[in-house]
Amino acid sequence: MYSLYRYVSTQKRTCPLLSVQPVRGLVDEKFQFVVTNLPPNQKVTLHSLHQSDDKDFWEAFGHYVSDEHGSVTGFKHESLGGTYEGTEPMGLLWSMRPIPGSRHGLRLRKRDIFRPMEVCISVYSGHLSQGFSQQTPLATSVTERWYVAPGVKRFNIREKEIRGTLFLGWIYIRFYVKEVIGGLVEYRSALLASHGFASMALEYLAPEDMRLEDTDASYFEKAYQILKNHPMVKKDHLAVLGLCLGSVIALSMVSYSKVIKPQCCVCISGSHLMPVDKSLSELFEEMKNHADKLYVNENNQVIHRNLILSLPCQSAKVDVGRIKCPLLLVNGDDDQTIPAVESAEDMAMMMEKAGNRHLLEILTYPDAGHLIEPPYSPHFRATNFKLQWTKERIVMLWGGQTKPHAYAQEDAWKKILAFLWQHLASNVK
């Protein structure tokens, strides 16, 4: 035993090494991984594991073969199989899925944005597709993914019945993006602030002490005025950004409101076919009356888009010809929730007729679905969802295919940021 110990201790160690850089970064920042000290042409599996704020475990993995130097490099070598394929180091994030045996219909969303998304990345011998918890990894590294950059400040908004959160960016830029989003979901606004914007996430689906009957145009106008009067916000450098129903609201407000006059507007997966001219309660009641138009596929997943197309309010669709500011539409052509592509085409024709088509920019991504999230977020084709107008829990089909959807999220985010900087940061003093 003693002789063996001495022999091992005097040999040069050749244990595999795994490096993931950066160790800490924003969620929209790429990382790179490198595995060294492997035998040449060795089959290995790169595996990522994350425990969500809801305590569910998510994983992704790729199959690699080391090169003649015994190395695997994410930006150079291809994954030959697994949850993603190709030269896709970020596939360890965007192809994540719940581990086997998890609850059905999960969606990964960050709730506590002041805690990082910790991802454990490991390398295993051989090409594995299951049973990772029963195997011993050759090497492991942990990387932190943040929605909040150092220096970003968070403030609760509880003023004039308005409920929301204000994030102030890491540099003194006096303009803001008002993110209209159901519930109080903060991660996108926090990420916008991490890029220097003052950004407000606005809660509107039955905020505390409020009824849906009271959530109408005046609610959003009051929120706009609060931000407009904030000392860190420049009054003539304002924008509105919405996702899904938030986009529907944004289009209505930008078209008709005498108070909300932003310098630009971004709508992700939205439509002009369901104008919010009264309260959200009345809009939901109208949708409830046409619930028979919901289609359920063979997998018991609800396709929502047909209901929107059947609404009689199409005859009273939002008059986007009234819009006076640059408008960016971001859509996936496999959106099964909102007829966003058809809506964009009709909006383009309406704006052409009205003479403001030059204000419209449309991004349409092939095989992308409804939930176009920040870069490298996992793709969710279908998840659990509660219908607001019936309170029924269903499985909603969002659409999209994993790899093209991941591309859409990365490309759209870059273009959204560029669009906001172009129209908000010009002539800032």
Place of tokens 């507007």: 265
Q: Is the pLDDT of residue 248 over 60?
A: yes
Alpha-carbon Rg for the chain, nearest whole angstrom, is: 24
Each residue's pLDDT tens digit, 86-134:
999 999 999 999 999 999 999 999 989 999 999 999 999 999 999 999 9
3: enclosing H helix or E strand: helix 2-9
Query: What mean pLDDT is reported for the chain?
Result: 88
Three-state secondary structure readout of 297-348: CCCCCEECHHHHHHCHHHHHCCCHHHCCCCEEEEEECCCCCCCHHHHHHHHH
234 or 368, which is more confident: 368
DSSP state of 353: H
Each residue's pLDDT tens digit, 385-421:
988 777 789 999 999 999 999 999 999 999 999 999 9
At residue 44, the 3 state secondary structure works out as strand
So which residues are the catalytic ones?
Answer: 244, 335, 370
Across the range 25-39, mean pLDDT stands at 97
Place of tokens 């390398």: 123
Q: Is 81 exposed, middle or buried (0-12, 13-18, 19+ CB in 10 A)?
A: middle
Cβ-contact 202, 178 below 8 angstroms: yes
Q: Is the pLDDT of residue 227 over 60?
A: yes
Which residues in the chain are classed under CATH 2.60.40.2240?
A: 17-146
Q: Alpha-carbon distance 56 to 352, whole Å? A: 48
What does residue 25 show for φ and ψ, rounded to 5 degrees?
Answer: -165, 170
Per DSSP bridges, beta strands 238-243 and 198-202 are unpaired
Which residues in the chain are classed under CATH 3.40.50.1820?
A: 153-426
Written as six digits, the tokens of 322 are 């009234």
Across the range 252-281, mean pLDDT stands at 89
pLDDT at residue number 228: 86
Q: CA triplet 371, 163, 337: central angle to 5 degrees?
A: 20
* CATH superfamily label, 153-426: Alpha/Beta hydrolase fold, catalytic domain (3.40.50.1820)
Q: Alpha-carbon distance 324 to 270, whole Å? A: 18
Q: Alpha-carbon distance 27 to 374, whole Å? A: 8
Torsion angle, alpha carbons of 273, 367, 398, 95, to 10? -150
Query: What is the pTM (predicted TM-score) of this model?
Result: 0.91
Q: Is the pLDDT of residue 82 over 50?
A: yes
CA 56 to chain centre: 19
Cβ-contact 424, 239 below 8 angstroms: yes
140: enclosing H helix or E strand: strand 139-146
For residue 8, what pLDDT band results from cuts at 50, 70 and 90?
A: very low
At residue 126, the 3 state secondary structure works out as coil
Distance of CA 87 to CAs 60, 77, 142, 154, 403, Å? Answer: 15, 6, 21, 37, 12
Q: Which fold has domain 17-146?
A: Immunoglobulin-like (2.60.40)
Q: Alpha-carbon distance 337 to 205, whole Å? A: 18
pLDDT at residue number 365: 98
